[in-house]
Amino acid sequence: MAVKLMGAWPSPFAVRARIALNLKSVDYEYQEEDFRNKSELLLKSNPVYKKIPVLLHDDKPICESMIIVSYIDEVWTDGPSLLPSDPYDRAIARFWAYYVDDKWFPALVEMAKAKTDEAKKEATEKVLEGLKLFEEAFEKCSKGKQFFNGENIGYLDVAIGCYLGLIKMADLMTGLNLLNDKTPLLAAWAERFCASKAVKDVMPDPERLLEFVKVMLAAQAAQ
């Protein structure tokens, strides 16, 4: 079965898909996309949003990162499941995966883009509030084990963990230490997650990310 992933190295959403493929030991071809010059294959494969990531499985496109993660989990059943077996635990994992994209990530973006001290302070407070919520969620979901999913990296680990490169980049940009002694469980989890064989080679370097974001923000300011 031919598997191809279209993504871009700075994108946490592409990172999600790559981690999931690695966790399931799926052989795949990776196509790096240029945000400013998207390939015809990408535009044809995702004509609605025209965004990465897109997974091509036997030439059939699957779009949206968490849908891709679920698809990978359902198709490649060897090894541990990414989603919890208990229906309630699955619902909770999906809830937090939605929250991190819908509420927390926009606050992180706003923190980087804020032009006033007041706006930056407000966004930073939202980011820190979210991390505190993740700390509480980890304590409940992990049930004393290493990851949100228990003994193994799972759906919610991937959903939140894909942002760890951006969190470290934000630390470089702001001088903050977002994962600190107020979130000790989350900080320890982040180290374990990033050390995983499935993660470490696809997680973007924070300094490289910072340079990319600086260029992007400068280009937006010049428009």
Task: For residues 185 and 147, give the distance between their C-alpha atoms in angstroms, rounded to a whole number.
Answer: 10
Report the side by side order of strands in the sheet with 29-32: 29-32, 3-7, 54-57, 60-63
The reply to whether 70 and 100 lie within a common domain is no
How far apart CA 121 and CA 127 sit, in angstroms, is 10
Q: Are strands 54-57 and 29-32 parallel, antiparallel or unpaired?
A: unpaired
| pLDDT above 80 for 15 | yes
**Paired tokens of 222:** 């010049």
Q: Which CATH number goes with the domain that contains 67?
A: 3.40.30.10
Domain enclosing residue 195, as ranges: 87-213
94 with 180, same domain: the answer is yes
Task: Give the domain-ending residue among 53, 75, 97.
Answer: 75
Full-prediction pTM beyond 0.85? yes
pLDDT in tens, 69-127: 999 999 999 888 999 999 999 999 999 999 999 999 999 999 988 989 999 999 999 99
Dihedral angle, C-alpha 185, 188, 194, 198, nearest 10 °:
-70
> What integer best gives the mean pLDDT of the chain?
96
Answer yes or no: is 219 within a domain: no
Are residue 140 and residue 94 in the same domain, yes or no? yes
Let me know whether 107 and 189 are in one domain.
yes
Predicted confidence at residue 207, as pLDDT, reads: 97
The pLDDT of 175-201, averaged and rounded, is 97
